[in-house]
Amino acid sequence: MYMEQIVRKHKRTVPLCLGLEEILAPKGSIVLKKGEGRLLKAGGAWIFDNEISGTSEGLSDGDMAAVEDFDGFLLGYGFFNSRSRIRVRMLSRYRKEPPDGEFLRGRAGAAWEYRKMIMGGDMGSCRVVFGEADWLPGLVVDKYEDVLVVESLSLGMDRVKEDVLAFLCEAMAKDGIRIRGIYERSDAPVCGKEGMEPRKGFLGDPFDTDVEITENGIRYLVDVAEGQKTGFFLDQKYNRLAVQRLVKGLAEGAGRDIRVLDCFTHMGTFALNAGIAGAGDVLGLDISEKAVAQAGDNAARNGLSGRVRFRRADVLEELPKMQSEGERYDLVILDPPAFTKSREATKRAVQGYREINRRGMALVREGGFLATCSCSHFMTEGLFIKTLQEAARAAKKRLRLVEQRSQSPDHPVLLNTSQFEAEENSRYLKFLIFQVVTEL
């Protein structure tokens, strides 16, 4: 449907916006300093401002640029932006011909084919484009049943996003999937660093932005217009399923009601997975009144209101109270928002993660379990595990690692890059399940 809207809009027989080839045509070149571009040559997707020795006159922000090494060797093509520290976001590498419309169609089609291969048919709701990891820099597209939500975070890609969306719809249509509408959520603070005005609204005809999805057998109502990020945290899909499996095993073997505490519950996703698996007493905490109301609605939607309840609370204040009251749980889940969004704030974030995990461990029954995660780019996996070890020592607990997970495979990680680029681009979610026992 969206593809047809684009065609009508531009009175074309193919879903190409007028001027696409002109937008993709290189307007000039940038030349690297001698010895620079090491990350790019190792497989990276970015060129930073301090790596460039020269830029063609007339090259404007958002333009396609040829990227040359210091000796004139062509390294590829990318979108140029003088306002960003990431001066060029590469669209193609070691390819003599510049990208064109068919090139973009191929990239969009490849992104969809990848999801078909790795999601095992579980594509009712999933991420279909993940920026640099799909070689479409700065572009995120999430699918919620028959609705797409797009987040455009780079100026150059923003100029061709509607064409990429039309190509995606074209690829999905071949599999019988008809997209009824697309909503844009390009309102993240990073847009300002790219020289972009934040935008939010319909691309094409308006539609009901409350979309019902089913994930892991649980139904949710997702608000793609006002929900966090693009409406739902799709990256935790199989981590929620891991919790479901764990609770099912606990419930079958305990001979009593399993108690689960879900902290920072948001829409109640982990709590509901625990409830559907057989937990008899599940409590979800969140500081947002709206989130608690949504979580309660989702519990009712799945017939779980009797066993899964939610309460508005500041988790950082509530956990010490619960500990002093002697509360204990078979499973404690900690899914906090990112405690740091900058490298400079990492030290304070470590303190926050250490304290909240120490408090969480104290609420776990002897031999019970802790599921904990971090979605901060700057909290690396190694640093996160070190922080958890420190929290365990402070709580006089020992941790036995059960599972070590990351984001679902529709959020692929682009390797052959620097650690910074991999963490910043695509590898950010750390999810670990531990058995918690008393230190002897």
Nearest residue to 145 (alpha-carbon basis) of 208, 212, 201, 237: 212
Q: For position 421, what pLDDT does the model report?
A: 47
How far apart are alpha carbons 392 and 246 in whole angstroms? Answer: 21
Sequence letter at residue 399: L
Which residues fall within 8 angstroms of residue 314, CB to CB, at 6 or more apart? 287
Q: Which of helix, strand or coil describes residue 110?
A: helix
Mention the CATH class of domain 234-438.
alpha beta
Examine the pLDDT at 439 and tell me if it is beyond 70: no
Which of 235, 237, 193 shows the shortest CA–CA distance to 214?
Answer: 237
Distance CA 3, CA 39 (A): 37
Residues listed for the chain: 440
One-character DSSP codes across 306-359 = TTEEEEE--HHHHHHHHHHTT--EEEEEE-PPPS-SSGGGHHHHHHHHHHHHHH
Radius of gyration in angstroms for the set of CA atoms belonging to the chain, rounded to a whole number = 23
Q: Could you read off the pLDDT of 216-253 as tens digits, one per residue?
A: 999 999 999 998 889 999 999 999 999 999 999 999 98
Residue 204 identity (one-letter amino acid): G
Identified catalytic residue from 169, 191, 373, 375: 375
**pLDDT digit string (tens) for 366-393?**
999 999 999 887 788 899 999 999 999 9
Domain boundaries, the chain: 26-93, 100-223, 234-438
Quickly name the fold that domain 26-93 has.
Answer: 2.30.130
Query: Is-contact 37 75, C-beta < 8 A?
Result: yes
Beta sheet of 125-130, edge-to-edge order: 125-130, 139-144, 147-152, 181-186, 199-203
Structure confidence at residue 15 as a pLDDT band (50, 70, 90): very low
Is 17 part of the annotated catalytic residue set? no
Q: What does pTM read for this prediction?
A: 0.91
In the predicted structure, residue 96 carries a pLDDT above the cut 80: yes
In which order are the strands placed within the sheet that holds 308-312?
308-312, 281-286, 259-263, 329-334, 364-374, 430-438, 397-405
Q: Tens digit of pLDDT for each residue in 342-375?
A: 666 678 888 899 999 999 999 999 999 999 999 8
Q: Is the CATH number of domain 100-223 3.30.750.80?
A: yes
